[in-house]
Amino acid sequence: MRLRRNQLCPIHRSVSCCGREAISKSRRARQLGVRRIDDPHHPRGYREIRSNAEMRKLMDKKIATQNGECPLCNEKFTNYGDIVPDHIHPRGMGGAWRDDHPENIQAVHWWCNGEKGSSRQ
């Protein structure tokens, strides 16, 4: 994930550190917010799909609740650009096609997420 130019880094509490995002010249209209999709096969009865902005907000909260630490390798985060969202119940293991509910997302290093693959932790 990348930080926006005016976004405070949740690791360093700075606006001038890692992972600054370049401003694109053309901005497309994107769907914002959290969408709920009814799914009778899901235990909650619905799935959530988050926009990039909402996922970024959720990741900032997850980093804070995880005390700035990756739950897979138990090491501290040092660069915001190394952090990606990980689905705890992946699609390949019986999870919904895409479920971005806060209970199903955790912040991890991109290399830890790659090693984990489609398995539960």
pLDDT value for 109 = 94
**61-110, pLDDT tens digit by residue?**
999 999 999 999 999 999 999 999 998 887 655 555 677 888 889 999 99
Strand partners, 86: 106
- Tell me the pLDDT band of 50, cut-offs 50, 70 and 90: confident
Instruction: Calculate the average pLDDT of the chain.
Output: 80
| Whole-number Cα distances in Å, 108 to 6, 30, 39, 104, 114 | 23, 26, 27, 13, 10
Element (H, E) at 112: helix 110-116
Q: How would you class 89 by CB atoms within 10 Å of its CB: exposed for 0-12, middle for 13-18, buried for 19 or more?
A: middle
Sequence ranges of the domains in the chain: 52-116
Strand partners, 85: 107
Third-level CATH fold of 52-116? His-Me finger endonuclease fold (3.40.1800)
Distance CA 44, CA 39 (A): 8
Transcribe 47-102 into DSSP letters: EEEE-HHHHHHHHHHHHHHTTTB-TTT--B---GGGEEEEESS-GGGT--SS---G
Q: Is the pTM of this model over 0.85?
A: no
- Tell me the pLDDT band of 51, cut-offs 50, 70 and 90: confident
